[in-house]
Amino acid sequence: MKITEVETIPYRIPMRKPLRFASGEVHDIEHVLLRIRTDAGLVGCADIPPRPYTYGETLDSVIGVVGGIFAPALIGTDPLDRARIHAALGRTVGNQTAKGGIDIAVWDLIGQALNTPVHRLLGGYCDSLAVTHMIGFSPTEAAVEEAQRFVADLGVRAFKVKVGRRPVSLDVELVTALREHLGDDVLLYLDANRGWTATEAAQMLAATEGLDLRFFEEPNDAAEVLGRRRLVAASPIPIVADESTPDLGAAAREIHTGGASALSIKTARTGFTESQKVLAFAEALGLDVLMGNQIDTQLGSIATVTFGAAFEHSSRYPAELSNFLDMSDDLIASPLEIVDGRVFAPTAPGVGTIIDEEKLAHYRID
């Protein structure tokens, strides 16, 4: 089997409700649908979410690098030769979500060719993951109401709260109200997307002691080396690296130099192949991992659950799988569902995603 064509289709779907956080806000989903075709008639697909404020990629940069550099290297290659494909992609630095999408689409082809779900090819550990819902910036009352609705309607019992606002007391009040209203057995953790200084983040930790917050993601900019290391060393809870560790090398560097004590894994940026390496690295060192959400569509969330549910170490904590509910639509033919607070990994061959061609025609912007 040989790759014959690599197609990138930009599309736009409005958010039902914008997501706001310390490093940016998202009003419209502007992603690239990647399709890789083979001479066996198979089509592998993946969703690529460029995030300029996180990785510096844009719709145009993704389309440019895939069409101009990656596609010529992929055409004529057998999708089963993954290491050869990665060696070719590795000659270009950065462009993490473009590379992540290619890896997912290649695995999709492999699963289809072997008539087996990728979830099982990877590891097949369990059939589903519990869901964490991400709460963006909003007034305290609205955030509490949103969380209560997720508990009551969808059985979700884990929440990641976007923080990093000033003054810090705004977020202290928010998290205190969430704990009061949701009770003790709901998992709560924070993500400041680098919005605070190390000193402000330390104030937040001190002011919320006793609220059983489990993790604190990107409290400040990891590039502020000494402040970050002082915070990680003093923090009573794991400090999770997300955007500071977009690839395996960065994950190794941040962990070994004391810049973080847990890792977020996002298939949108490390696909399945590199995510597996990050996971093994974390497991060997005894570090917790969280399956994160790159503001993923249903297409992207299916990739997350395909990977996360495939391994024991990535299914220990609820995974961030609900951002698609904030979007007004999706390209996928059969909608992803949250049932009793869980999302199931697909059982169809490949990654198990089928594109609704009418929706694609409606939302594409090329």
Euclidean distance between CA atoms 86 and 116, whole angstroms: 22
> C-alpha angle with apex 32: 28 to 34, nearest 5 degrees?
155
55 within 8 A of 243, measured Cβ to Cβ: yes
Total Cβ atoms within 10 A of residue 7: 16
Smallest distance, ligand MUC to C-beta of residue 96, A: 11
Which positions from 198 to 217 touch ligand MUC by CB under 6 A, shown as an x/- string? --------------------
For ligand MUC, the binding residues in 32-91 under the rule CB under 6 A are 51, 54
Q: Which stretch binds Mg ion (CB under 5 A): 126-134, 163-171, 189-197, 310-318?
A: 189-197
242 binds Mg ion (CB under 5 A): yes
Q: Which stretch binds ligand MUC (CB under 6 A): 142-150, 230-238, 290-298, 358-366?
A: 290-298
Give how far the C-alpha of residue 154 lies from the chain's centroid of Cα atoms, to the nearest Å: 20
Q: Which stretch binds Mg ion (CB under 5 A): 22-30, 37-45, 100-108, 235-243?
A: 235-243
Catalytic residues: 162, 191, 217, 242, 266, 294
Smallest distance, Mg ion to C-beta of residue 201, A: 14
- What does 295 interact with, of ligand MUC, Mg ion, none (CB < 5 to 8 A by kind)? ligand MUC
316 within 8 A of 308, measured Cβ to Cβ: no
Smallest distance, Mg ion to C-beta of residue 336, A: 21
82-89 helix and 96-113 helix, angle to the nearest 10 degrees: 170
The strand ranges marked E within the chain are 3-21, 24-38, 43-48, 128-135, 158-162, 187-191, 213-217, 239-241, 262-265, 289-291, 319-320, 342-344
Which positions from 95 to 134 touch Mg ion by CB under 5 A, shown as an x/- string? ----------------------------------------
Residue 275's DSSP bridge partners are none
47 binds Mg ion (CB under 5 A): no
294 binds ligand MUC (CB under 6 A): yes
Total Cβ atoms within 10 A of residue 162: 24
21 binds ligand MUC (CB under 6 A): yes
Which positions from 228 to 267 touch ligand MUC by CB under 6 A, shown as an x/- string? --------------xx------------------------
Smallest distance, ligand MUC to C-beta of residue 258, A: 21
| 3-class SS of residue 186 | coil
191 binds Mg ion (CB under 5 A): yes
For Mg ion, the binding residues in 205-224 under the rule CB under 5 A are 217
159 within 8 A of 190, measured Cβ to Cβ: no
296 binds Mg ion (CB under 5 A): no
Euclidean distance between CA atoms 298 and 330, whole angstroms: 7
195 binds ligand MUC (CB under 6 A): no
270 binds ligand MUC (CB under 6 A): no
Residue nearest to ligand MUC (CB): 54
Q: Sign of the C-alpha dihedral, residues 279, 284, 290, 292?
A: negative
